[in-house]
Amino acid sequence: MERICGWIVRLKVVGRVAITEVATDLYSKPVVVAVKSNRDPELFSKVKDLPIGTAVCINGEVSPEQRSKRGVEYLARDIRIYSKPNESMPVDLVGKVPALLDTRVKYRYLLIRNPVERSIIKVRALVLKLAREFLENRGFIEVHTPKIVAAGAEGGATLFQVKYFESNAYLSQSPQLYKQMLMASFSKVYEITPYFRAEKFNTRRHLNESWGIDVEQGFIDSEEDVMKTLEELVAYIVNGVRERASEELELLGVEVKPLSTPFKRMDFREAVELLRNKGLEIPEGEDLSEAAERELGNIMAEKGCEAYFIKKFPWTAAGFYYMRDEEELTARKFDLDYRGLEVASGGQREHRYEKLVESLKLKGLNPSDFEYYLEAFKYGIPPHGGFGLGVERLLMSLLNLDNIRLATIFVRDRTRLTP
């Protein structure tokens, strides 16, 4: 005898049979319970008029005959009713009536009772589980860095300012600077962490609060060591989702192709040349736009390549903490694109104190604002590098989602501060 708890998402009475579908934590598909009045009139009477959204627990067992295509069939011995909704559902939990994006975002906490919406969130949880598996097996230690900080890693224009007692502080854009400081004591660290960025974008791929898998590793020879870790991590995640989430992928109607390493590498200049040959205008010294990324994804797809690195970015398009190749005026920075979307960026960091101070000045930043960070580089930090892999962006590409807001439950973007 098992106890299965969840919420009724569909109830249909056909003659003397009540067919109930219950969304549970155990499966992506609902539990299906058929109660016949001639076999159990008391249970039939208890179930037949329950409203959609009722919270119940079922005592029973999996039926030896699985005939339903809609979910796992159970033989119920009893159904205990815990809570009935006070109002009718504001959204269709079955999915017959399509909801606008705003409605889906507002009521996502309810819509994830629907098997398709539920599958997205279950795949998200699996992605994070797989990331931890991979990194822990490779000897990385999980750390947690401050989310209230004195200075940003990416620049003042995208910082959320908060009042911190008598001082001004900011929400963390990235654990970047703290990961580097930890290279003074650990050679392999990772953090699964939120990012807060005050970017005034409202595109299909931008959030103001998002999550990332951040990694830093020391004693490297070049950024290639970091790229190897990243490509093996992404391949582990993608192939793990294929193997462990087949039911969810089927519900979503998504085919995920296996990834093998190494991924293709191309210089930034090579990417620009490919795009210019297609007629796109790419400004000198700037990162690629969203449209350029998409077009590059199309070009690479034609070559049978879904995941690829772009490296050797112009120094002008890189953060101050990246190591410079001074002769080429490039940074040891790379992006990883997957299906035409940038999902990660990283590179080799500058570990030499004097060079870091010089880079800050070249970027128009005041070294005194970064004293706490710079001090760590006086005490023997080795050559190191790392990356940030965007959780929602990876899910968006992996599951072919139309909008990044569908890759999370509670959305924080330029117009949404609730629920």
CB 237 within 8 A of CB 344: no
Reported as a single tens digit per residue, the pLDDT across 226-241 is 999 999 999 999 999 9
Single out the catalytic residue among 73, 154, 199, 232.
199
Look-up: residue for tokens 């815990």? 82
Q: What CATH number should be reported for the domain holding residue 31?
A: 2.40.50.140
Q: Which of 52, 69, 88 is the last residue of a domain?
A: 88
Look-up: residue for tokens 């989310």? 147
Write down the pLDDT at residue 156. Answer: 61
The reply to whether 11 falls in a domain is: yes
393 catalytic? Reply is yes
Burial class of residue 277 in the structure, from the number of CB atoms within 10 Å of its CB (0-12 exposed, 13-18 middle, 19+ buried) = exposed
The reply to whether 309 falls in a domain is: yes
Reported as a single tens digit per residue, the pLDDT across 236-288 is 999 999 999 999 999 999 999 999 999 999 999 999 999 999 888 888 777 88
Q: What share of the chain is helix, strand, coil (3-state, %, to 5)?
A: 35, 30, 35
342 catalytic? Reply is yes
- The verdict on 307 and 216 lying in the same domain is yes
- The verdict on 199 and 241 lying in the same domain is yes
- The verdict on 18 and 124 lying in the same domain is no
Single out the catalytic residue among 206, 324, 332, 384.
206
* Helix 223-244 and helix 391-398, axial crossing angle in degrees, nearest 10: 50
- The verdict on 15 and 130 lying in the same domain is no
Single out the catalytic residue among 345, 349, 384, 397.
345
Query: How far is residue 143's CA from residue 186's CA, in Å, rounded to a whole number?
Result: 10
- The verdict on 55 and 121 lying in the same domain is no
Question: Residue 290, Cβ neighbours under 10 Å: how many?
Answer: 15
- The verdict on 223 and 352 lying in the same domain is yes
Burial class of residue 29 in the structure, from the number of CB atoms within 10 Å of its CB (0-12 exposed, 13-18 middle, 19+ buried) = buried
Q: Which of 72, 88, 104 is the last residue of a domain?
A: 88
Single out the catalytic residue among 113, 124, 205, 324.
205
Q: Is the pLDDT of residue 328 over 80?
A: no
Q: Where are the beta strands (DSSP E) in 17-97?
A: 17-24, 31-36, 55-62, 72-83
Q: Is the pLDDT of residue 381 over 70?
A: yes
Single out the catalytic residue among 223, 393, 397, 405.
393
Query: How far is residue 9's CA from residue 24's CA, in Å, rounded to a whole number?
Result: 10
Across 175-188, average pLDDT: 96
The reply to whether 55 falls in a domain is: yes
The reply to whether 40 falls in a domain is: yes
Write down the pLDDT at residue 369. Answer: 87
- Give the domain extent around 338: 115-407
Output the pTM of the full model: 0.94
Reported as a single tens digit per residue, the pLDDT across 384-411 is 999 999 999 999 999 999 999 999 999 9
345 catalytic? Reply is yes
Query: How far is residue 154's CA from residue 174's CA, in Å, rounded to a whole number?
Result: 8
Give yes or no for a cis peptide into 30 (omega within 30° of 0): no
- The verdict on 82 and 120 lying in the same domain is no
Write down the pLDDT at residue 99. Answer: 85
* Helix 391-398 and helix 115-137, axial crossing angle in degrees, nearest 10: 120
Q: Which of 53, 88, 123 is the last residue of a domain?
A: 88
Q: Is the pLDDT of residue 118 over 80?
A: yes
Q: What CATH number should be reported for the domain holding residue 251?
A: 3.30.930.10
Single out the catalytic residue among 117, 342, 350, 392.
342
**What is the domain count for the chain?**
2
Question: Residue 388, Cβ neighbours under 10 Å: how many?
Answer: 22
Query: How far is residue 381's CA from residue 403's CA, in Å, rounded to a whole number?
Result: 40
The reply to whether 418 falls in a domain is: no
Look-up: residue for tokens 């004293």? 371
* Helix 223-244 and helix 115-137, axial crossing angle in degrees, nearest 10: 140
138 catalytic? Reply is no
Reported as a single tens digit per residue, the pLDDT across 4-62 is 999 999 999 999 999 999 999 988 999 999 888 988 899 999 999 999 999 999 998 88
Single out the catalytic residue among 104, 197, 324, 349.
197
Query: How far is residue 173's CA from residue 408's CA, in Å, rounded to a whole number?
Result: 18
- The verdict on 122 and 12 lying in the same domain is no
Query: How far is residue 286's CA from residue 59's CA, in Å, rounded to a whole number?
Result: 61
User: How far lies 224's CA from each of 202, 230, 387, in Å?
Assistant: 34, 10, 12
- The verdict on 80 and 123 lying in the same domain is no
The reply to whether 31 falls in a domain is: yes
- The verdict on 82 and 119 lying in the same domain is no
The reply to whether 49 falls in a domain is: yes
- The verdict on 70 and 216 lying in the same domain is no
Structure tokens of 350? Answer: 């500058």
Structure tokens of 31? Answer: 């539990």
The reply to whether 60 falls in a domain is: yes
133 catalytic? Reply is no
- The verdict on 45 and 141 lying in the same domain is no
